[in-house]
Amino acid sequence: MREPLPADMFDELCPSPLNPIRFGDKWAALIIRCLEDGPRRFSELRVPLRRVTPKVLTGSLRSLERGGLVRRTVLAGATPHVEYELTPLGRSMLVPLAAACAWTEEHWDELIDARESYDDASGPRPAHAYAPGPAAGRPGG
Amino acid sequence: MREPLPADMFDELCPSPLNPIRFGDKWAALIIRCLEDGPRRFSELRVPLRRVTPKVLTGSLRSLERGGLVRRTVLAGATPHVEYELTPLGRSMLVPLAAACAWTEEHWDELIDARESYDDASGPRPAHAYAPGPAAGRPGG
DNA sequence: CAGAATCCGTGGGGATACTG
DNA sequence: CAGTATCCCCACGGATTCTG
């Protein structure tokens, strides 16, 4: 709740297009995990999410707020101070999110192998190699 | 298993951008539900998924195949005959999919209300009305 | 600190028409 | 029947720069 978020909270291949299950937009699931232990400031979020530009992070947070999953609070004071926290609705989403993460973790190797063998088989092909990646992002792990 | 898929299997607002949980691309979750009871032919899938153009349906099926969730089988014969079915991996995905659907169904009203009040509050605003819809689709119901 | 403004590339996804 | 082939649009998301 009070510990700062670790900079290496997520590894570089996260989110991955291999994961078919996605919560919100590309970064939403990661944001939700960052808020799991209590409210966080914008700049706190930027630490584990340093690969996300401020514009994109803001957009993602606005989208979560719009969906009722996150509440944005402007604290009074001389300098800007904004906190983001999960709403009860957002918190309830941790359940299916955990289920999705568990599934992904359990089947990660199969997902890798499946894509590899598909691409091996259809890559060398001359025509109709048609291989559109899924529009998916890896939620958590 | 043998009953044809009903044309009204999904309602028109499905998938909906209100749902933050998404499996694969826009139509993947619907396809998976269509395959739940056994293998289906391309034209069988087109009945409940009649709003999806053949090109897009093919793309979605290829993506599922690439991810190892669906197997495509060309049956021998004079006229083209292709079947799609869930792999064990695809079938295992029914579990988190069901969890997601349950969550969505349970919180549907809250999702609607949240967006409505957000848009009511920020819509009339002059500047920074910044309201980017989430890149999400409604999985099942 | 917490963003906003601007520019821009990529590709998902729809419409339409055609084919082995 | 089971797709392909084109064309097109625009929303997502990244880079960069600027500000109350």
Angle, CA A107 vertex, CA A105 and CA A108 arms, to 5°:
65
- Percent of chain A at pLDDT exceeding 70: 86
Q: pLDDT, tens digit, for every residue of B4-22?
A: 999 999 999 899 999 999 9
Which pLDDT does position A45 carry in this prediction? 98
Q: What is the mean pLDDT of residues A129-134?
A: 39
pLDDT category of residue B133 using cuts at 50, 70 and 90: very low
- Percent of chain B at pLDDT exceeding 90: 79
Instruction: Tell if A104 CB is < 7 Å from nucleic strand D.
Output: no
Query: Other CB atoms closer than 10 Å to residue B120's CB: what's the count?
Result: 9
Q: Do A66 and B119 touch (CB under 8 A)?
A: yes
Measured CA A135 to C1' C17 distance, in angstroms: 27
**Which positions in chain B touch A67 (Cβ < 8 Å)?**
18, 20, 111, 114-115, 134
Residue B120 CB-half CA count within 13 A: 6
Q: Would you say B89 and A113 are in contact if contact means Cβ atoms under 8 Å apart?
A: no
Instruction: CATH number of the domain at B34, please.
Output: 1.10.10.10
| Alpha helices by DSSP H, chain B | 28-34, 42-45, 54-66, 88-92, 94-122
Q: Do B65 and A118 touch (CB under 8 A)?
A: yes
Pairing of strands B40-41, B82-86: antiparallel
Say if A140 falls within a structural domain. Answer: no
Which pLDDT does position B124 carry in this prediction? 62
Number of domains in chain A: 1
pLDDT category of residue B51 using cuts at 50, 70 and 90: very high
- Percent of chain B at pLDDT exceeding 70: 86
Say if A3 falls within a structural domain. Answer: no
Q: Which nucleotides along chain D are within 7 A of a protein C-beta? A: 1-6, 11-17, 20
Nearest to A67 among B23, B28, B111 (CB): B111
Say if B99 falls within a structural domain. Answer: yes
pLDDT category of residue B53 using cuts at 50, 70 and 90: very high
Say if A66 falls within a structural domain. Answer: yes
Measured CA A72 to C1' D2 distance, in angstroms: 50
Say if B12 falls within a structural domain. Answer: no
Q: What is the mean pLDDT of residues B66-92?
A: 96
Comparing alpha-carbon positions, the chain A residue that sits nearest to B58 is: A130
Strand stretches in A1-141, DSSP E: 21-23, 40-41, 70-74, 82-86
Does the pLDDT at position A129 exceed 80?
A: no
Q: What is the pTM of this model?
A: 0.89
Q: What is the mean pLDDT of residues A97-108?
A: 96
Which pLDDT does position A121 carry in this prediction? 86
Does the pLDDT at position A27 exceed 90?
A: yes
pLDDT category of residue A123 using cuts at 50, 70 and 90: low
Which pLDDT does position A34 carry in this prediction? 98
Query: Other CB atoms closer than 10 Å to residue B88's CB: what's the count?
Result: 12
Say if A69 falls within a structural domain. Answer: yes
Q: What is the mean pLDDT of residues A4-13?
A: 94
Say if A35 falls within a structural domain. Answer: yes
The domain containing residue A31 runs over which residues?
A: 27-121
Give the tokens for residue B110: 């809250």
Say if A105 falls within a structural domain. Answer: yes
